[in-house]
Amino acid sequence: QICLSLVKLLFYLAHSPLGSIVLLDFQPRQFVMVDGNLKVTDMDDASTEELSCKEDNDCTLEFPTKSFPLKCSTVGKCEGINEKKNLFNAYRYFFTYLLPHSAPLPLQPFLRDILNATGDLRYGINETLKAFEKVLHLYKSGLYLQKRPLLLKEYISLKGFRTVEAEDYKCWPSYSHLGCLLSVHSAEEAAAICSSQSQCQSFIVTQQRTWTGRPLASFQSSPTDLIPDVNAVVYIKRSASSGERL
C-alpha cells in the first residue's frame, strides 16, 4: 500500500502542470500516510529545474552506490533526470525494505521484477505504476492463486459460531500481535494456509477488510471456546480431536 501510493505520487510529480518535479530531500521522514494515501509533508525542497547540459557526458545521475548515464536533449536539458532521481530514491528508501516480503509467494516474482527494474532504472514512472497496478489486480482478484487440490473439504464448517479472540500462535505477516491474522482471498485460500501450518487446527474468515477489500482470516491452534455469532462460520480440521468429537 505504501509503495503503490508513493508511485502514484511520483507519477503525479512527473506529469504535474508545473513540469517534472524532483524532491531534493527525499527521506522517509518527509512522507506521512493520510487516509491510506502517502503525502509529502514539506515541499520546500521540491524543484522543477532540470539539469542543463551541452552533451550526454554532462548528464550523469549519481548516487552513493550507483551512477546512471542520461541523454542530453536538443533543448539542453538532461532527459527525465527529475523523474529518475525520484524513482531511484523510492527504490533506495522504500522498495528495498517493503517489497521483498509483502505479498503471497506467487506474486513475489512480480515484485522482484519491479525491484530490479527500478534499481537499474530500466523502468520509468509510467512502467512502474503499470507494473504495480498489475500486481494489485492479481492480488485483489485472486488470479495469483495457483491451481491446487481443494482443501476446504477437509474442514468441518460450523455456521453461526465464532471463536473467542485470545492470544494464540504467531505467524508473519500477522495483522494482530495476539495471534495469526492474515489477509485471504477466500475461505479456500484460508484452508490452504491453515493446512500448511502445523499449529493451525481451525480458522474463521472475519468481517474485517484490508485496504484492498480482502477479508482477514484468524487462524487458531485450538477450536475451543466457540460463541454464537449469526454472521460467522468456524472451519475446523476434520483431523482435529475436537472435530472428531463433533
Q: Tell me which residues are annotated as active site.
A: 25
* Contact predicate 217/196, CB 8 Å: no
d(CA 89, CA 92): 5
**CB 179, CB 167: distance < 8 Å:** yes
Assigned C-alpha cell, 240:
482435529
End-to-end Cα, the chain, rounded Å: 41
